[in-house]
Structure 1
Amino acid sequence: MLFDRKDLTKEQLIVFYRSLLLPRLIEEKMLVLLRQGKISKWFSGIGQEAISVGATLALQQDEWMMPLHRNLGVFTTRQMPLHKLFMQWQGNKDGYSKGRERSFHFGSKEHYICGMISHLGPQLAVADGVALAYKLRKEDKVAVAFSGEGATSEGDFHEALNVAAVWDLPIIFIIENNGYALSTPTNEQYRCERLVDKAKGYGMEGVRIDGNNILEVYDTIKGVREYCIRNQKPYLIECMTFRMRGHEEASGTKYVPQAMFDEWEAKDPIKKFEEYLLEQEVIDTHKASQIKIEIRQTIEEELKIAFNAPSITADKQEELNDVYAPILRKDFAQLQQVEITKSERAPRDLRLVDAIKEGLHQSMHQHPNLILMGQDIAEYGGAFKVTEGFVEEFGEERVRNTPLCESAIIGAGLGLSLEGFKSVIEMQFADFVTAGFNQIVNNLAKIHYRWSQNADVVIRMPTGGGVGAGPFHSQSNEAWFVHTPGLKVVYPSSPIDAKGLLIAAINDPNPILFFEHKALYRKVSGDVPADYYEIEIGKANLVKEGTDISIITYGMGVHWALNFAASNPNISLDILDLRTLLPLDYDAIKSTVTNTGKVLILHEDTLTGGIGGEISAWISEHLFELLDAPIIRCASLDTPVPFNLALENNFMALSSLEKSIEKLLNY
């Protein structure tokens, strides 16, 4: 192993040595504590420290890093307090995640470290968003994202690198090639000779280096950082290294040939660097021993603090309160809830699509940090022309066409949020959100609960059937997300609600799925104030008062119910438009049930697993004594959405509405 100190001083080399030793000695202590049962799990990075430490030393302190579970050196080199790290690993409330996350699944905005999720690949896309923020602000910074050689097989790796290349983002992607993804060797993971060769396929530069040589890692990343900033380009670095322990301690290492251990033991990054420093007389054996003693003493002292921390007392209300980030109004007086009937300017008759467009347009003026992203949303104006004309007014930096990379774009939205940006992402059709599902339900939804970082992302979801578009352009998939704590799910049925709720969603710092029924875009119109106004998320709207039956519904169901009421004036219907599906307005539900005693829950979504089941269960549990009849759910058939219009009409809940109401009336 050849070391080249270049212009590094003796003092800097000693800092490098200390920085390498700290994570190694912490790990050795953690393995002892693991055997003693004082921590529950450990993912070892022994043998790989030079990559984490060298990369972190080469960056500025305020440049975001996206580490994984073998990058302890990132956390220690960013000088995070050791006692707080120890509390984190013990599951203590005073750690970085209040006991809610394990090992390295946490982040710290103060230290510009974004916590990983277990799926590994999504970290790369978050770096895209951070780097985009740097680029938009014209800051001389880079983002750094780590992946193992196993994660390069994931779709997120491809999407993140492709977006970074297409958008010319200043990112350093670091592959830690340690030979095994858990027990799967590289020859069962990929067929290219070198992973860095993938860089050319994305139109970026790349290099393979010795990941155990800290000076080579530091010098390479320092130079690559300058390249990325100067050229506004991404770069791929493959660091060759080896994992000297199991994937995690319980998995063992029986699958690794002993000869491989012997080979890499001789290349140990700390042992080789120490030999170099002794040879260069930067330190002597006494100094090396003294540094190790000092670090071990520090570790023990910090552990004492951690061990003395009080045990967690679980508090249900606190847990629930931390699912969502609080909404802070700051200096925006006009963002307060307004009574839209008192609008200063006369309302206009707008279609649903026009109301959404106006809410989006006004929000772009209100928030200079708002970025729109989606397929074909710039010059083309989007599949439904909602953003037509936006790119000419706001520019390509803020109205961004995206590659077909749903996961990467949603992840980029989270990265933008780390740097204080807002984003609205358009799914061309709600059906296509499955390609980004993991980012939504595991990354965006959980991040505030995990380490108090909000995800200021709105995902627009053109949804629903009734237009003969078949199984993959007609699904009502809102129930998928209602089951996920941390998300908010909004589904307007009228133009006035669509504009006000969209503005409220953009002002909300939490991740929001905003459903827009395609068949209502140009079919429904109504008075919409010209003002910039909000309608509160989480509040239902009683669109019609009645005494015979309560219809609880949303989206297209509202119009089905209103049309039925108009055709059957002899039946007095109380029609409640939920508007928000997560969180639900239970007070409004209780009010309508109290008013009629008979409940019909109507939605376009299929019956099994639809939100109607949840609402029905809640009413039965909490309001049973108010009911005069069993709750009836009227939903679409439990089949995919068919293409033929006759079949689709038969599929729709509307086909069963009259019979459902008749059954309830006659009970």
Structure 2
Amino acid sequence: MRYHIGNLDQHQLINLYRGMLKPRMIEEKMLILLRQGKISKWFSGIGQEAIAVGVSNALKESEYILPMHRNLGVFTSRNVPLDRLFSQWQGKMNGFTQGRDRSFHFGTQDYKIVGMISHLGPQLGVADGIALADILRRNKRVTAVFTGEGATSEGDFHEALNVASVWNLPVLFCIENNGYGLSTPTNEQFNCEHLADRAKGYGIESRIIDGNNILEVFTKVDELAKAIRKRPRPVLLEFKTFRMRGHEEASGTKYVPEKLMKNWAKKDPISNYEAFLLEEGVIAQEEIDQFKAEITEEINQNLKKAFDEPTVSFNESKELEEVYQDIDYEEVIPNENSENIRFVDAISQGLEQSMERHNELIIMGQDIAEYGGVFKITEGFTSKFGKRRVRNTPICESAIVSAAMGLSINGMKAVMEMQFADFVSSGFNPIVNYLAKVHYRWGQNADVVVRMPCGGGVGAGPFHSQTNEAWFTKTPGLKVVYPAFPSDAKGLLNTAINDPNPVLFFEHKGLYRSVYGDVPTDYYTLPLGKANLLEEGEGVSVVTYGAAVHWAIETLKKHPEIDADVIDLRTLQPLDIEAVYASVKKTGKLIILQEDTLFGGIASDISAMVMENCFEYLDAPIKRVGSLETPVPFARELEKNYLPQQRFENALLELVAY
């Protein structure tokens, strides 16, 4: 192995050596503890230390790094306290996830490290968002994100590189090509000679680097980082290396040819570099022995602290409270001036006034800039706020959700428009696995609103008509808002944007231009989790939300003899179930109407909760009404009978007559 010292001084050369030695010695200790049953799992980076250590040392402490399983050297290079790492791996309270997650599935703002999730791809898009925030603030920073060669087959990889290229984001995409994805060799994963060649398709630069040569890693990344700070742009780096142990220790390495293992063992990044330093007289054996003794002592002392720490104890209220970041709701009372506007105008007005209120609020989506979005909600926004804050995106929902998460990590707010709520399936993974879980896992909030134009009745067919709120009400960590009136839409949207937690904001397309209402002209907020009692009666409780609110009111107008409470839930998570209980205790009868198909929807949960908590007040079985158990059909007659209006009227009359 050939080493070129270049302009590096003795201190830097030794620092890089010690930087690799420390994670290697920690790993060797962890493998012993794993065999003793004192940690549950280990993903080894032995043989790959030069990459994590070289990249970390080339970046500034203020610059974010997004590592993976085998990048212990990132954490040690950033001087993350060992006792906290050891507690993390043992599931102790002093760990970064307080026992809620394992391994390197965590981040820490104190050290500008953002850890991975098991769904590997989204962190590439998160890096885009972090870098975007730096660009918008004109910070001259680089973001480095790691991935293995296996994850380059995921769609998120391609989406993230494309977005970074289109937006000229200062991201170093670091591929550790270590030969195997678990047991699948590279020749069964991709059919190009070098993964770096893929950069050509995105119009970005790439480099191939010897991942076992610490000096090559450090000097080339250092040179690139300095260049990117001056002229922001993404670069794809392929580090050629090898995984000397299994995917994780239980996997073993029997699937690897013995000759291949022996050849790569000869390229060990630490033993080769150590021999070079000794030969060049940069370091003496006595110094090496001293380093090893010091690191051993540091490991043992911090292990003792972690072992002495008690096992984590369960506190139910704490667990529930920390799913979401705390928020002090700021009530903003509107002035007395109002105007009668459409639902769509109220959404646009709320979004515009929130953009004025929050200087670092970024909105992203397909066709939302000059075109104004397919529903024209952001029409005129670019002339007022500029294309830096109103951003057209490629068609890549997953990468943009992840980028919104990255903006939040770097201290900004994001609103992302799903062109249609149906398309959220393409961004489902980062919503339910990243945004929803990140605060519970390591205390990082996801300050993201995903706008969801939804709903049927407009002849748009199976792929543009779903009302899919139940996909998200099931997921702890997400908030779900679904207004029915223009004034609610504006006030709740403002609150959703103020909320530091991820919010799915459903906007029924059928209401956009058909429903008018008096809406205060200035900025105001409405609380999440507070239902609205629209009509009061003694005979039956009608609980609903979204467009179904209007269907319920229309039906009741046809039957003035029915004396009903009508409750518009407005938000589904948090859910104002107490308002439902109070109504049921008064009327003794409950019917729940939703546009979504019936099975597994919000009506089922409300019904179950009322049965559990108000059974003795019920004078009749609870009725649930929803759409037909089919995809949403296109033809008018089919869609009319798919939707639940007529079934609701029949069920309501049956319930009243019970």
TM (norm. structure 1) is 0.98
2: CA distance, partners of 1:202 / 1:135: 20
Note the 1:371-386 alignment, pairs <5 A.
371-386=362-377
Q: 1 CA distance for matches of 2:542 and 2:208?
A: 64
Q: What secondary structure is seen at the aligned counterpart in 2 of 1:207?
A: strand
Q: Name the CA distance, whole Å, in 2 between partners of 1:284 and 1:259.
A: 33
CA distance in structure 2 between the aligned counterparts of 1:115 and 1:551, rounded to whole angstroms: 46
**1:532 match:** 523
**1:623 alignment partner, SS class:** helix
- Partner letter of residue 650 of structure 1? N
Equivalences for 1:131-530 in 2 at 5 Å? 131-328=131-328, 336-339=330-333, 343-530=334-521
Tell whether the 8 Å contact from 2:211 to 2:217 is kept in structure 1 after alignment: yes
Corresponding position of 2:630: 639
Unaligned runs of 5+ in 2: none
Which residue is 1:614 aligned to? 605
What CA distance in whole angstroms lies between the structure 1 residues aligned with 2:61 and 2:229? 16
Query: Aligned equivalents of 1:478 and 1:348: distance in 2?
Result: 30
Shift of 1:312: 1.3
- Structure 1's 491 and 389: CA in aligned 2 closer, same or farther, altered over 3 A? same
State the secondary structure of the residue aligned to 2:161.
helix
Residue 514 of structure 1 aligns to a residue in which SS?
strand
CA distances 1:60-84 after superposition (whole Å, capped 9, x unpaired): 0011111111111111111000001
Q: Which residue of 2 aligns with 1:542?
A: 533
Q: Is the 8 A contact 2:361 2:413 kept in 1?
A: yes
Kindly indicate whether the alpha-carbon contact (under 8 Å) linking 1:414 and 1:455 is maintained by their aligned counterparts in 2: yes
Aligned-pair distance for 1:338?
4.1
Quick check: 1:349–1:528 contact (8 Å CA) kept in 2? Answer: yes
Q: Distance in 1 between matches of 2:592 and 2:319?
A: 30
1:640 CA drift (Å): 0.2
For the 8 Å contact 1:227–1:233, the answer to whether it is kept is no
Q: For residues 567 and 618 of structure 1, what CA distance do their matches in structure 2 show?
A: 30
> How far off is 1:337 after superposition?
1.4
Say if 1:607 and 1:637, in contact at 8 Å, map to a contact too. Answer: yes
Name the count of aligned residue pairs.
Answer: 658
User: What is the rounded CA distance, in whole Å, between the counterparts of 2:163 and 2:227 in structure 1?
Assistant: 18
- 1:625 aligns with 616
Counterpart position of 2:657: 666
Cα deviations by residue, 1:2-39 (Å, 9 ceiling, x for unpaired): 11111111111111111100100000000000011110
Alpha-carbon separation, structure 2, partners of 1:22 and 1:579: 54
Answer whether contact 2:482 2:572 (CA < 8 A) is retained: yes
8 Å CA contact 2:332, 2:523 repeated in 1: no
Q: In structure 1, how many angstroms separate the alpha carbons of the residues matched to 2:227 and 2:602? A: 51
SS at match of 1:222: helix
Q: In 2, distance between residues paired with 1:311 and 1:236?
A: 42
Deviation at residue 658 of structure 1 after TM alignment:
1.1
**Residue 593 (str. 1) matches residue 584 (str. 2):** yes
| CA distance, structure 2, for counterparts of residue 455 and residue 272 of structure 1 | 44
Stretch moving more, 343-352 or 396-405: 343-352
- SS of equivalent residue, structure 1 residue 605: strand
Structure 2 letter corresponding to 1:628: D
Question: 3-state SS of the aligned residue for 1:174?
Answer: strand
Q: Could you tell me whether the CA contact under 8 Å between 2:45 and 2:71 is conserved in 1?
A: yes
| Contact 1:345 1:531 survives alignment (8 Å) | no
Unaligned runs of 5+ in 1: 330-335
The SS at the match of 2:506 is strand
Distance 1:265 1:135 in 2: 42
Separation in 2 of the partners of 1:218 and 1:441?
36
Paired residues of 1:496 and 1:528 also in contact (CA < 8 A): yes
Q: Does 1:81 align with 2:104?
A: no
Give the letter aligned to residue 518 of structure 1.
K
- After TM superposition, give the deviation of residue 345 of structure 1 in Å: 3.2
Q: Are 1:109 and 2:109 counterparts? A: yes
Distance 2:523 2:340 in 1: 16
Q: Secondary structure at the match of 1:221?
A: helix
Letter paired with 2:266: A
Distance in 1, Cα, partners of 2:136 & 2:78: 26
Give the SS at the match of 2:100: coil
Where do 4+ consecutive residues of structure 1 move more than 6 Å? Answer: none
Contact 1:552-1:601 at 8 Å conserved across structures: yes
1:394 is aligned with what amino acid?
F
Please tell me the residue identity of whatever aligns with 2:183: S
Partner of 2:643: 652
Give how far 1:256 is off.
0.3
Displacement of 1:426: 0.3
Task: Output one character per residue of 1:126-170: Cα deviation in whole Å (capped at 9) or x when no partner.
Answer: 000010001001111011110100000000000000000000100
Q: What is the rounded CA distance, in whole Å, between the counterparts of 1:663 and 1:181 in structure 2?
A: 60
* 2:583 maps to 1:583: no
Q: Is the contact between residue 362 and residue 415 of structure 2 (CA under 8 Å) also seen in structure 1? A: yes
Deviation at 1:655, TM superposition (A): 2.3
Aligned to 2:65: 65
RMSD: 0.8
Residue 48 (structure 1) shift: 0.4
Of 609-618 and 448-457, deviating more is 609-618
1:561 matches 2:555: no
1:659 and 1:207 map into 2 onto residues whose CA distance is 68
Residue 332 of structure 1 is matched in structure 2 by none
Report the alpha carbon displacement of residue 230 of structure 1 after superposing the two structures with TM. Answer: 2.1
Instruction: Provide Cα deviations, 1:459-517, integer angstroms capped at 9, x if missing partner.
Output: 00000000000000001100000000000000000000000000000000000000000
3-state SS of 1:323 partner: coil
In the alignment, which residue of structure 2 is the partner of 1:572? 563
Determine the C-alpha separation between the residues in 1 that align with 2:139 and 2:467.
Answer: 42
Contact 1:4–1:215 (Cα < 8 Å) also in 2: yes
Contact 1:49 1:73 in 2 (8 A): yes
Structure 2 counterpart of 1:425, one-letter code: M
**Partner amino acid for 1:395?**
G
The equivalent residue for 1:40 is: 40
Partner in structure 1 of residue 96 of structure 2: 96
- In 2, Cα distance between the equivalents of 1:190 and 1:364? 44
Task: Name the SS for the 1:360 alignment partner.
Answer: helix
User: AA paired with 1:634?
Assistant: V
Distance in 2 separating the partners of 1:269 and 1:592: 70
The C-alpha deviation readout for 1:265-306, integer Å capped at 9, x for no partner, is 000000011011101111122221221111111100110111
- Aligned to 1:348, the other structure's residue is in SS state strand
Q: Percent identity, aligned pairs only?
A: 60
**Corresponding residue for residue 333 of structure 1:** none
CA distances 1:158-203 after superposition (whole Å, capped 9, x unpaired): 0000000000100000000000000000000000110000001100
Q: TM-score, normalised by structure 2?
A: 0.99
Q: Per the alignment, in what secondary structure is the counterpart of residue 619 of structure 2?
A: coil
